[in-house]
A and B are shown apart, each in its own frame.
Chain A
Amino acid sequence: MSSTYANAIDLTAGGFMLAGVMIVWRRELRSLVRLLAWQGAALAAFPFVEGIHQHDGALVAVGIAIASLRVGLLPWLLRRAVGAEAEDRRESTPLLNTTASLLVAGGLIVTAFAISRPLVSLDPSTATRAVPAALAVVLLGVFVMVSRRRAVSQAVGFLMVDNGIAATAFLTTAGVPLIVELGASLDVLFAVLILGVLTGQLRHTFGDTDLDQLTELRDL
C-alpha cells in the first residue's frame, strides 16, 4: 500500500516536472495548452492520491474540483484564445532559441533541486520528496513568462507558476483547506479571463498578440 502510494506520488511529481520541461521545449501554442492540461491533471492527482491514502474525502473532492478546473475550463479558455489567433501566428516565437532556453531550464531545475534540499530534509516524507519538482515548475513558469512573446504563452507561464505554488502547498501541508484552494483558483480564473480580454484587445489594436508591440504605447 505505502509503496504504491510512494510510487504514485513520485510518478505524479515526475509527470508534473516533465510537463513543465515540455512546455519550455515546444513552440506551438496548441501543444502548450495541451501540455498545460496534462500538468493540471498531475496537479489534481496530488491531493487525490493524498486523499485516498489518508482516507480524506475532502482532499479527494479538492482533487476532482481542481481537475475540472485545470483540465477542463482553463485549457478550454486558452484554446479559444489560440483559435482566435491567425494561422501563421500560432507558434510562440521565444526570445531565446530553443537550445539556449532548454539549457536555462536545466539550470533552473537543478537550482530548484539544490535550494529545496533543506526544505526536504526538514521532514523527509514521501510527499515532501516531491517538493523540488514543484519548485522547479514555479521557476520554469517564470522563465516561460520571461522568454515568450505571445500573450497566450504568457498566460501559460502564469498558470505554470500557479500550478507549482499549489503543488508545493499540497505537498508540504498535506492539503490546504478546500475554500482557500477554491479562492485561489477563482483568482486564477479571473486572471486568465483578463489575459484573454487583453489578447483580444491586442489583436484589435495591432492585429497581433506580440507583446513587444506594447512598447509602441510608451510615447502615447
Chain B
Amino acid sequence: MSTTVDVAPAPHTTPEVIAHPSRVGAAVLSGGLTAALGVAGISLGIAGLFHKVASVHIGWLVPLVGVQLNLDPLGGLFVTVTGAVAVPVGVYLVGYARHEHLPRLSLAVLPLFVAAMLLVPMAGSVTTFLLAWELMALASLALVLTHHRRAEVRTAGGLYAVLTQLGFAAILTGLLVASASSGADTFAGLAAHLDRMSPGTRSVVFVLTVIGFGSKAGLLPLHAWLPRAHPEAPSPVSALMSAAMVNAGIYGIVRFDAQLLGPGPRWWGLALMVVGGASAMYGVLQASVATDLKRLLAYSTTENMGLIVLALGAASLLSSVGARDLAAIALTAALLHVVGHAAFKSLAFLCAGAVLAFTGLRDLDQMGGLARRMPTTTVLFGIAALGACGLPLGAGFVSEWLLVQALIHAPRGGDSTLALAMPLAVGAVALTTGLGVAAMVKAFGLGFLARPRSEGAAKAREATPSMVIGMTLAASVCAVLAVAPVAVGPALRHVLDTLSGIAVPNTPRLGVMLRLPGAGSMSPALLAAALAVAVLAVIALAQWGARHRPEPATVPLWACGADTLTPRMQYTATSFAEPLQRVFDDVLRPDTDVEISHYAESRYLVEKVAYRAQFTDAIEERLYRPVVRGVLAWAGWVRRAHSGSVHLYLAYGALGLLFVLVAAR
C-alpha cells in the first residue's frame, strides 16, 4: 500500500549502540519529569474530583484579568486522565528516547506539553483557558515537527498548524462573544449571568465552540490533521496527543456546551449526534482499510471521539425531552469512554512505537511474525486492540454498552425527531462496533501473528525494559477498566453532580453488577469469570480419549502438496481489507490499479501482477481542495492592493487609523 513511509531514524538492530551519555541524561530527565508531572496530575485531579482543591487567582501573571485556576470534579476527571496517560509515557520515554535519538528540543518540550494539557481543565476563566489552550497547541505542534527533515512530517505539521489555529480562532470568537454578552470572564460568572445571553447568542457560541473543539477532537469534517499528524509524531507524542490531547476537545464541549451554556435547545443534541455518528462511522471505515499501523490507530481515535460526542449529543437530546435519567446514562457512557479510550489508545500507540523502534516498520503489509520475536509487546497490543474493538473483556465494552442502553430506552411514541434519531444512532453504533473489530483483527493478526513479510520484521527484538514497564502500566489500567468499572464509579458520580443541569445524578449504578434505573443489568467481571470457567471446562472436555492419542507432532504447514509456503504467499493487510473496501467503495473512493507485465517471449505468459490501492481521505479531497482554491483566489485578489510602494502602504495605515478614530469617537 502506498501509504508506506520509510522511517527516518534507521532501526537499531544491534543492542550495543548506546547513545551519547548527555543524551541519555536528557532522556531520563525528560521522561522522569513527564512521569512526575503525571503523578502530580493524578493526585491533583483525584483531589479535585472530591472537591478538595481551592481555587487559585494569580493576578500579576497576566495583566488586567490575571490567571484563574480552580478544579471542580469535571476538570478533575480530565486532569486525572491526562496524568494517567503521562505516567506510562514518561517511563516509556526513557528507553524510547535513548533508542530513537529524539532531539533535545523535543525532550524539553514534552513535559511542557504535558503541563499545558494539565492546565487546560484547571482553567477557571476564559482568558486562562485560552492561554493554556494555545500553549498546548503550540507545544504539540513543535513535537509533531520533531523529524521535520521529512517531507510528510512538514506537510502534516502544516495541516495541523492551520486546522488547530482555525479551531482556536473559532473557540476564541465563541468564548469572547460569550463572556462579552454575559459580561463575565470566570466560568462561575458565565454560569451566573447566563440569562444575559439571548438564545441566539448562545446558539452562535455553541456552533463556534463545537467547531473549535471538534477540530481538536478530530471530528468530521475537521479531522484531516489527525490521521496525518499522529502517525508522523514520535510515538510517545502520538500517545499523548491521541489519548490525552483530543480529550481536551471533549472537555471543552462538555464544559461549555453541556455545563455552562446547556441545557440547550433540541437541535444542539441532534447536531452533536450527527457529527459524532458521522465521525464514528467514517473513522472506523478508514481504519478498517488503513494499512499503516499508526494511521489506523489515528483513525480509530476519530471513531472513538465520534462515539463520545454521539453519547453527549444523545444526553443533551434526551434531557431536552425530559428523560434526564437516560441522559445521565449517556453522559456516564461518554465520560467512561473518555477514560477507557485514553487507556487503550495510549497503550496501542506505545506498542506501535515499540514496533517502529525495533523493526523500523509502520506498514502492516510488511510486518508479521512479531509474536515470536516481541512476545510481551504482542500481548500488550492484544489487550489494547481488545479494548479498541469494544468486545467483552475489553476496556471499551462497558461504555459502549451504556451508550446503547441509553439509546434504546428512549421514550417511544413521543416525538418524531427522537424516534428517527435514536434508531439511526443505534445502527451507527452497531456498525461502528462491527467494523472496528475487523480493523483491530487486521492490526493484531497481520501485524503480530503469521510469518514475517520483510527483513525488518524478521530482525525484530523485544522492547527495552523501561518501554515494557511503561506499556504494562497502561495495560493494567485497561484490565481494571475492562472487568471492574466500579473503580471509577464514585468519580463519575461526582462529575455527574456538576452536570446536574442536564442529567439526574446517581444513575446508573456502576457496581460489580451494572444496574440501570429501569430493568437491565450486566456484569463485566462475572462475564469474564464465566467465560474463563467455560473455556477451562471445554479444555477439560477435550481431554476425552486423550490416552488413545499418538504422540503430538509438529509438522510443516500444509502447502497443498507443494514443498514450502513462502511468506510472500500470505495475505497482507491490503488483501485482508479488500472485501470491505469493495463493499464500501462508494464512500472510500480508493484509486486502485492493477498492472500486468508479460514476458518478452509471449504475452500469454504473465510475468508479474502489481496491485496498488491508495486511500486518500475522501472528505479532504472533496471538501478542503475547493476551500483552499477559494482562499488562494481571494489572496490573489488582495495582492492587487500590494503595489510595493511604501507610500501607498503608509496611506493604507493612515486611512485605517483615521477610520478607527472616527468609528471610536
In the complex, are there CB atoms of A and B closer than 8 Å?
yes
Taking Cβ atoms with an 8 Å cutoff, the residues of A that contact B are 97, 99-100, 110, 113-114, 117
Q: State how many angstroms separate the Cβ of B427 from the closest Cβ of chain A.
A: 9
CB-contacts of B572-586 with A (<8 A): 583, 586
* B586 close to A110 (CB less than 8 A): no
CB distance from B14 to the nearest CB of A (A): 52
7 other A-B residue contacts (CB within 8 Å) besides A99-B586, A114-B420, A117-B416: A97-B586, A99-B583, A100-B586, A110-B420, A113-B416, A113-B419, A114-B416
What is the distance, in angstroms, from B583's C-beta to the closest C-beta of chain A?
Answer: 7
Residues of chain B in range 379-435 having any CB-CB distance to chain A below 8 Å: 416, 419-420
A/B interface sample: 10 pairs, CB < 8 A: A97-B586, A99-B583, A99-B586, A100-B586, A110-B420, A113-B416, A113-B419, A114-B416, A114-B420, A117-B416
**Interface SS of A by simple majority:** helix
Nearest neighbor of B416 in chain A, beta-carbon distance: A114
Contacts of A100 in B (CB 8 A): 586
Q: Which residue of A lies closest to B584 (CB)?
A: A99
Q: Which 10 A-B pairs have the closest CB atoms?
A: A114-B416, A117-B416, A110-B420, A114-B420, A100-B586, A99-B583, A113-B419, A99-B586, A97-B586, A113-B416
Would you call the interface of chain B mostly helix, strand, loop, or mixed?
A: helix
Closest residue of B by beta carbon distance from A110: B420
Chain B residues close to A by CB (< 8 Å) = 416, 419-420, 583, 586
Contacting residues, chain A, for B583 (C-beta < 8 A): 99
Residues from chain B with a CB closer than 8 A to the CB of A113 are 416, 419
Min Cβ gap B418→A in Å is: 11
Closest chain A residue to B423, Cβ basis: A110
How far is the CB of B537 from the nearest CB of chain A, in Å?
A: 42
Give CA–CA (A100, B416) in the complex, Å: 24
CB distance from B143 to the nearest CB of A (A): 42
Alpha-carbon distance A100/B419, docked complex (angstroms): 23
Q: B419: which A residues are within 8 A, CB to CB?
A: 113
- What residues of B have a CB within 8 angstroms of the CB of A117 in the complex? 416
Instruction: Please give, as numbers and ranges, the residues of chain B lying within 8 Å of A110 by CB-CB distance.
Output: 420
Q: Which residue of B lies closest to A103 (CB)?
A: B586
Tell me, in angstroms, the Cα distance from A114 to B416 when the chains sit together: 6
Q: Which of chain A's residues has its CB closest to B417's CB?
A: A114
In the complex, what distance in Å separates the CA atom of A150 from the CA atom of B261?
56
Distance in angstroms between the alpha carbons of A99 and B580 in the assembled complex: 13
A114 to B418 Cα, complex, angstroms: 11
Alpha-carbon separation in the docked complex, A189 to B586 (Å): 40
In the bound assembly, the distance between CA atoms of A218 and B27 in angstroms comes to 78
Chain B residues with CB under 8 Å of A97's CB are 586
Query: When chains A and B are docked, how far (Å) is the Cα of A99 from the Cα of B420?
Result: 21
Residues of A near B420 (CB, < 8 A) are 110, 114
Task: Name A97's closest neighbour in chain B (CB-CB).
Answer: B586
Which residues of B have CB within 8 Å of A99? 583, 586
B416 surroundings in chain A (CB, below 8 A): 113-114, 117
A113 CA to B416 CA, complexed, in Å: 9
* A65 to B343 alpha-carbon distance, docked (Å): 67
Residues of B close to A114: CB separation below 8 A: 416, 420
A216 to chain B, nearest CB (A): 30
User: Closest CB-CB distance, B285 to chain A, in whole Å?
Assistant: 14
Complex CA–CA separation, A17 to B662 (angstroms): 69
Q: Which residue of B lies closest to A118 (CB)?
A: B416
Task: State in angstroms the CA–CA spacing of A117 and B583 once bound together.
Answer: 34
Q: When chains A and B are docked, how far (Å) is the Cα of A113 from the Cα of B583?
A: 28
Q: Can you name the residue of chain B whose Cβ is closest to the Cβ of A100?
A: B586
Alpha-carbon distance A159/B206, docked complex (angstroms): 49
What is the chain B residue whose CB lies nearest that of A111?
B420
Q: How far is the CB of A97 from chain B (nearest CB, A)?
A: 8
Residue of A nearest to B424 (CB): A110
- For residue B422, give the distance in angstroms from its CB to the closest CB of chain A: 12
Roughly how many angstroms separate A99 CA and B582 CA in the complex, as a whole number? Answer: 12
The distance from the CB of A114 to the nearest CB of chain B, in whole angstroms, is 5
Q: In the bound complex, what is the Cα–Cα distance between A100 and B584 (angstroms)?
A: 10
Closest to B583 in A: A99
Docked CA distance A182–B527 (Å): 62
Q: Closest Cβ of chain B: how far from A135's Cβ, in Å?
A: 14
> Within the assembled complex, what's the spacing in Å between the Cα atoms of A100 and B420?
20
> Could you tell me the distance between the alpha carbons of A114 and B421 in the complex, rounded to whole angstroms?
12
Distance in angstroms from A149 CB to nearest chain B CB is 20
Q: How far is the CA of A113 from the CA of B586 in the complex (A)?
A: 27
Distance in Å: Cβ of A180 to nearest Cβ of chain B: 32
Q: How far is the CA of A99 from the CA of B416 in the complex (A)?
A: 26
Shortest beta-carbon distance from A125 to chain B in Å? 15
Shortest distance in angstroms between B367's beta carbon and chain A's nearest beta carbon?
32
What CA separation (Å) do A100 and B583 show in the bound complex? 11
Closest Cβ of chain B to A121, distance in Å, is 10
Bound CA span A99–B587, Å? 12
CB-CB nearest in chain B for A114: B416
Distance to closest chain A CB from B258 (angstroms): 28
Min C-beta distance of B576 to chain A, whole Å = 21
A113→B415 CA distance, assembly (Å): 12
Q: How far is the CB of A130 from chain B (nearest CB, A)?
A: 15
B137 to chain A, nearest CB (A): 39
Docked CA distance A162–B586 (Å):
33
Rounded to whole angstroms, the CA-CA distance of A117 and B80 in the bound complex is: 48
| A114 to B419 CA separation, bound complex (whole angstroms) | 9
Which of chain A's residues has its CB closest to B586's CB? Answer: A100
Task: Give the CA-CA distance A28 to B583 in the complex, in Å.
Answer: 21
- The smallest beta-carbon distance between A41 and chain B, in angstroms, is 29
Taking the nearest CB of chain B, how far is it from the CB of A107, in angstroms?
10
A95 to chain B, nearest CB (A): 14
Complex Cα–Cα for A19 and B218 (A) = 42
User: A98 to nearest B CB, angstroms?
Assistant: 11
A10 CB to closest chain B CB, in angstroms?
15
| B463 to A: closest C-beta gap in Å | 43
C-alpha gap A106/B419 in the complex (Å): 14
Give the distance in Å from the alpha carbon of A187 to the alpha carbon of B586 in the complex: 41
> In the complex, which residue of chain B has the Cβ closest to the Cβ of A115?
B416
Chain A proximity of B584: nearest CB distance (Å): 9
Question: Cα distance A215–B68 when bound, in Å?
Answer: 73
How far is A110 from B419 in the complex, measured between Cα atoms in Å? Answer: 10
B588 to chain A, nearest CB (A): 13
Q: What separation, in Å, do the CA atoms of A166 and B621 have in the docked complex?
A: 48
Bound: A110/B421 CA distance, A: 11
- In the assembled complex, the CB of A123 is this many whole angstroms from the nearest CB of chain B, namely 16
Complex formed: what's the CA distance from A113 to B419 in Å? Answer: 10
Question: Min CB distance, B420 to chain A, in Å?
Answer: 6
In the bound complex, CA of A113 to CA of B412 (Å)? 14
A97 CA / B583 CA spacing, docked (Å)? 11
Q: What residue of chain B has the Cβ atom nearest to residue A117's Cβ?
A: B416
A5 to B583, CA, bound (A): 43
Q: B434 to chain A: closest CB distance in Å?
A: 15
- A117–B420 CA distance with the chains assembled, in angstroms: 12
Least Cβ distance of B129 to chain A in Å? 41
Min C-beta distance of A175 to chain B, whole Å: 27
Q: How far is the CA of A59 from the CA of B416 in the complex (A)?
A: 34
> What is the distance, in angstroms, from A198's C-beta to the closest C-beta of chain B?
33
B413: min CB distance to chain A, Å? 10
| Closest beta carbon of chain B to A116's beta carbon, Å | 10
Give the residues in chain A near B586, CB-CB below 8 Å: 97, 99-100
CB distance from A157 to the nearest CB of B (A): 23
Determine how close the nearest CB of chain A comes to the CB of B78; give it in whole angstroms.
37
B311 to chain A, nearest CB (A): 22
Cβ distance B416 to chain A, nearest Cβ, rounded Å: 5
B42 CB to nearest chain A CB (Å)? 46
Give bound CA distance, A110 to B427, whole Å. Answer: 14
